[in-house]
């Protein structure tokens, strides 16, 4: 479903973010990427939807190579979930979910917000399936809690029933209880639809609980690829180092690192 073959990423300023990374993720797998801040997790995810072009190697989504020419074909096949939720806070919950269908609409319809009835129904079904009530539909996104906002983010990501969902630290802004609930929900939504998920996390314990497979990056190099039960204390210590391990083991919210100029697209 998602293939990275010998990808390198060197940014314009010379930072080498990924070094000869190869990773093949089969359909339906929930794969978690672990790694310290700056290890290359976001760069890997951004490559999958073409926001970052590898300086060497290739990326394929659903058998199609990710290139400038194939982006219009690939983007509707990918749902995105973001650390900061990336909702339009002044817009209604319903509008935010519907925005997940924008890549599939002709431009004139998208500009006018003319969503077909079937899409509106799907948005309602998805909102119910992530545990939000009909009363939430017309509320502004800004009126929801962080956990509820991320539920909206999950519903939006599944609007086009994509075969692949990329989740970039989806619980980094949430408290431990909401983190567990949101990951549980994401995993259930994906399992019900056979969706492949590539999800970056900071918390080792959450990765162990929810992943089918864990991969770990250190300084842009893939240093672990295996089953969650094999990501033991020694593997965690090798990845994070003794002092940083306790921080990575907690489910406390992580302060976002300042971002570079690249921003995730809303859908």
**Residues that bind ligand ATP in the complex, under the rule CB under 6 A:** 11, 13, 15, 17, 35, 37-43, 257, 260, 262
Question: Alpha-carbon distance 77 to 191, whole Å?
Answer: 17
Interstrand relation of 164-168 and 196-200 (parallel, antiparallel or unpaired): parallel
**Least Å from the CB of residue 98 to ligand ATP:** 28
Of 17 and 155, the one with the shorter C-beta distance to ligand ATP is 17
Q: Which is nearer to ligand ATP, 2 or 17 (CB)?
A: 17
Helix (H) or strand (E) holding 72: helix 71-74
Minimum distance of ligand ATP from residue 150's CB (angstroms):
17
The tokens describing 30, both together, are 């929930």
Q: Quick one: 45 or 123, whose CB is closer to ligand ATP?
A: 45
Q: How far apart are CA 53 and CA 68, in angstroms?
A: 9
Q: Cβ of residue 260: shortest distance to ligand ATP, in angstroms?
A: 3
Q: How far is the CB of 7 from ligand ATP (least distance, A)?
A: 12
d(CA 78, CA 62): 10
Nearer to ligand ATP, 158 or 210 (CB): 210
The shares of helix, strand and coil residues in the chain, as percent rounded to the nearest 5, are 40, 20, 35
């Amino acid at each position: 479903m998602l293939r990275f073959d010998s990808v390198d990423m060197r940014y314009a300023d010379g930072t080498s973010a990924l070094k000869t990374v190869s990773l093949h993720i089969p359909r339906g797998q929930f794969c978690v990427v672990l790694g310290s801040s700056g290890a290359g997790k976001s760069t890997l995810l951004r490559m999958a939807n073409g926001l970052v072009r590898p300086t060497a190697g290739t990326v394929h989504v659903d058998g199609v190579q990710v290139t400038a020419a194939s982006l219009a074909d690939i983007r509707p096949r990918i749902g995105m979930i973001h650390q900061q939720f990336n909702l339009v806070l002044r817009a209604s919950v319903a509008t935010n979910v519907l925005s997940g269908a924008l890549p599939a609409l002709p431009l004139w319809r998208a500009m006018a917000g003319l969503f077909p009835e079937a899409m509106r129904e799907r948005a309602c079904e998805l909102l119910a399936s992530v545990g939000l009530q009909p009363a939430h539909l017309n509320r502004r996104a800004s009126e929801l809690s962080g956990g509820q906002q991320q539920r909206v983010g999950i519903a939006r990501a599944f609007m086009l029933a994509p075969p692949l969902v990329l989740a970039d630290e989806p619980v980094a802004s949430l408290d431990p209880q909401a983190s567990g609930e949101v990951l549980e929900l994401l995993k259930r939504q994906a399992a019900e639809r056979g969706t492949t998920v590539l999800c970056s996390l900071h918390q080792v314990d959450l990765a162990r609980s929810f992943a089918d497979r864990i991969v770990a990056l250190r300084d842009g190099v893939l240093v672990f690829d295996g089953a969650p039960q094999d990501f033991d204390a020694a593997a965690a210590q090798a990845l994070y180092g003794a002092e940083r391990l306790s921080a990575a083991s907690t489910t406390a919210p992580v302060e976002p690192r300042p971002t570079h100029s690249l921003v995730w697209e809303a859908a």
